[in-house]
Amino acid sequence: MELLKRFKQGDIEAFETLFRQFQAEVYGWIVLIVRDPGVAEDLTIETFWRIYKARARLNTEAAFGAWVRRIARNLAIDHIRSRRREQELSEQSLWVEAPDSALCRETHEMIERAFRQLSPKLQAAATLALVDERPYQEIADLLGAPVGVIRTRVFRAVRQLRKQLERMGVIP
Amino acid sequence: MTEDEDKEIQRLLKEVIRSVDRELRLDVWPAMLRRLDAPRTLVPWYDWTLVGALSCWLVFFPEGILHLLYHL
């Protein structure tokens, strides 16, 4: 509590202590959503930069971690949204094909394209649930939504992907 | 939708989306300090003068909003 009060008053040492306490956690949340370590580092800094700028509004009684998590999550989701727009324009791939991938390049690109067409929230929920196989409760905490909503997002993501991939002829 | 169909989509996604390491490999505090030390972008005084003059003009001649919007 004392640390938060000092941070609110602009004490840079208090900010450093909070930064060091939370940086790994914040990076871990962001990288799970954006899937790019370099971007996750930048967004970690951006998260703390926003926290620093908004320190005057900090409620020292409320949970600091929850506030940090909300800012980090919003930045990560916004990043997926902007990346989606950029990719629509450039049609460039961000994901590297795994060397042991059984899929041919064309199929790989079609799946990627279908995935990019999902909304950022569906992309995040589907990645965490289906690729990382994280427990639903953990995904709910990370994305700030109830477990039921996360289940629905994953279900909708799978249904939309299936429809797209059938249309593209990737799956029968 | 069957469980097999879900598994098929899951398999395809795992092929395409790489897994990530959640561990932060380096201390990003030095980068944070650079960000804190970066000079703030200051709006030059003549921009503020222009905004002030424009606001006054719009207060005295509100019909000017339409002309302004047309030329923007």
Question: What predicted TM-score, i.e. pTM, was given to this entire model?
Answer: 0.76
Distances, alpha carbon A63 to alpha carbons A12, A60, A140, B30, in Å: 20, 8, 18, 26
Residues of chain A whose pLDDT is less than 50?
98
Specify the pLDDT at position A94: 52
Does A142 or B6 have the greater pLDDT score? A142
- B10 contacts A45? CB cut-off 8 A: no
User: Mean pLDDT over all residues of chain B?
Assistant: 84
Task: Report ipTM (2 d.p.).
Answer: 0.75
- A126 contacts B16? CB cut-off 8 A: no
Chain segment B9-43, per-residue pLDDT in tens: 899 899 888 888 889 988 999 999 999 887 766 77
Measured between beta carbons, which residues in chain B are less than 8 angstroms from residue A36?
Answer: 20
In chain A, domain spans: 1-92, 98-172
Query: CA nearest A112 in B: which residue?
Result: B16
CATH number of the domain located at residue range(s) A98-172 in this protein: 1.10.10.10
Specify the pLDDT at position B40: 67
- CATH number (3.30.1370.60, 3.10.100.10, 1.10.1740.10, 3.40.50.300) of A1-92 reads 1.10.1740.10
Interface test with A, best of B3, B6, B15, B40 (most A CBs within 10 A): B15
Distances, alpha carbon B28 to alpha carbons A21, A25, A38, A48, in Å: 12, 12, 11, 11
Query: CA nearest B37 in A: which residue?
Result: A49
Half-sphere exposure of B32 (CA within 13 A, CB side): 25
